[in-house]
Structure 1
């Protein structure tokens, strides 16, 4: 069984109280659009009209997947370790974005099929060198799933001790769109073909093969359909770590940014385990992976950006940070009608 998390629900009443203050800012009602909705939820979440997003940290959880051996990805598993090395050297996409937006970056090896040796910038928390293939058996044991959850929990606990005010999560693991698609399939009412996408660039033939393998995996699975059983059978160590991180962030009252399809699937799983976690999630973007838009709609999520991104690593989440920052600056820096000397806007009917 998954451990219990004591997550405080964010109530509509708390958000409305924050919105009431936003309505006193010297501007037409609702004129700052999504910035107002972001600001109201951040204020409710942090229980202050002066929320903070500093300091902020980003975690990339990395692991390999047994299902990769079935040819469901254009890229081989070697790419996982290669990208991790690129992150460690500062050359990956997430690196320039975290530098640009002042996120402290952590790369966590939860289950990469490679021994990195003495890499001082890598967080070494390997559970196993990749999951098993869920085509024929569970991807992980219950004990391994608990360990992966704990990796995410401990990561957030350490960030909390450093005083973090905003978190963001990303992943690296070839074939993890297959795990994400099956989580989506089992936790929603979408048919399987609407849950899968091209991942790192499958052509039409590759997509047909991927769908065939995933359909066979579904056919072969005869276990229970509760969320934790689905997490164990079809998950990846890095995905489960992200689920643990999201749940612990919410328990500690820390807002977090959600990246693309894979991290949104992790939020879907976290919400299935503890529904109140969704109140702490801010969706960075609507990505280009086929199932992402459907999943965002299913969750009732309002993504901040629409840039056609599908790199992963958390890049879309960190890209969205300046918009979230603008919503906070609105609360801190805009004057109210009382303090600005601006006459309150009055609604009038058009002649």
Structure 2
């Protein structure tokens, strides 16, 4: 994996001056001004553009689902939802079609054999991870393979002209993995990291918390971030980690979705701290631990819509805001161009 360098601030003053010279009071476009500045720094230009915005969804299954205590939905739903993505029937399909955002679907490790499909990228590492209640979810080699596969997917997407990419996921049981990763990377107790996932009741959340604490008691907190991923992660989460790192290395704008994608980012951040310079945080999920994750990363989300669906839906909703930020920077008249009087002091 390439080394990710912090954003160069060489153009920061010129970008800020261009923003401030637009026909508006200073700072009056709020977060759009911050995104415009970030886009210019990522692309190292005074005229950033958003080309072929894309959402990439990584899907995978989790061995922990066999316990029957972490999710109210059966594991078969992962494959069923992948078919729904391929048929165009999911929320993310609707949003991407409405917003004119490209959509890429990746089988990272679903416990199902899919027939070849033009929309499906087959990167399956295995038919789901192992059960981390008893053994690590995957080997270190499988984790590296998954991260490399995520990087290759992003390289291909970028080669097709995309410079702004958002990420989503699908996997029954993956909020449990994300909760464990969150606990390991933040040091917070697992009770602060476990939420409802796809709709667990109060009793189910309690059972889920007890089970995840058992897993932590068995394996502890591995020292290396990649070993944390291998122990508690999913193939889709490991691929997301590699994909996020590769996108930043390619100087793409990286749009982070909700709880699970942020868990993958936390692993990426431990490996390469500068990765967050390239990230736009789409929204604050209604999943319990997500706000604490964002606070740990010192990140401010663009939206707070009480969403907790996953699939990259929050990232998709943020894409028009990012496009508007680049558009005002390029197309809005300056005081001089519009012959409008600027402030006198």
| Residues 228-267 of structure 1 mapped to structure 2, 5 A cutoff | 228-267=226-265
Structure 1 unaligned blocks of 5 or more: none
Give the conservation status (yes or no) of the 8 Å contact 1:5–1:274: no
Distance in 2 of aligned mates of 1:299 and 1:14? 25
Distance in 2 of aligned mates of 1:298 and 1:16? 28
Give the conservation status (yes or no) of the 8 Å contact 2:147–2:239: yes
Q: How many residues align?
A: 344
Give the conservation status (yes or no) of the 8 Å contact 1:27–1:345: no
Give the conservation status (yes or no) of the 8 Å contact 1:54–1:165: yes
Distance in 2 of aligned mates of 1:85 and 1:160? 25
Give the conservation status (yes or no) of the 8 Å contact 2:9–2:41: no
Q: CA-atom RMSD, angstroms?
A: 1.3
Distance in 2 of aligned mates of 1:319 and 1:168? 10
Structure 2 unaligned blocks of 5 or more: none
Q: Answer yes or no: is 1:24 the counterpart of 2:21.
A: yes
Distance in 2 of aligned mates of 1:286 and 1:254? 22
Give the conservation status (yes or no) of the 8 Å contact 2:7–2:277: yes
Counterpart of 2:179?
181
Counterpart of 2:334?
336
Secondary structure of 1:290's counterpart equals: coil
Cα displacement (A) at 1:292: 0.6
TM-score (norm 1): 0.95
Give the conservation status (yes or no) of the 8 Å contact 2:51–2:164: yes
Counterpart of 1:160?
158
Cα displacement (A) at 1:301: 1.0
Cα displacement (A) at 1:346: 3.7
> Displaced runs of 4+ in structure 1, greater than 6 A?
none
Counterpart of 1:64?
61
Give the conservation status (yes or no) of the 8 Å contact 1:186–1:225: no
Q: Answer yes or no: is 1:44 the counterpart of 2:36.
A: no
- 2:121 paired residue among 120, 123, 127: 123
Secondary structure of 1:300's counterpart equals: coil
Distance in 2 of aligned mates of 1:33 and 1:85? 40
TM-score (norm 2): 0.97
Give the conservation status (yes or no) of the 8 Å contact 1:283–1:302: yes
Distance in 1 of aligned mates of 2:344 and 2:231? 58
Cα displacement (A) at 1:183: 0.8
Cα displacement (A) at 1:226: 2.3
Distance in 1 of aligned mates of 2:45 and 2:134? 50
Distance in 2 of aligned mates of 1:256 and 1:5? 16
Task: Give the stretch that moved more between structures: 19-28 or 249-258.
Answer: 19-28
Secondary structure of 1:320's counterpart equals: helix
Map Cα deviations across residues 144-170 of structure 1 (whole Å, 9 max, x no partner): 111101111110110121111211110
Distance in 2 of aligned mates of 1:131 and 1:16? 48
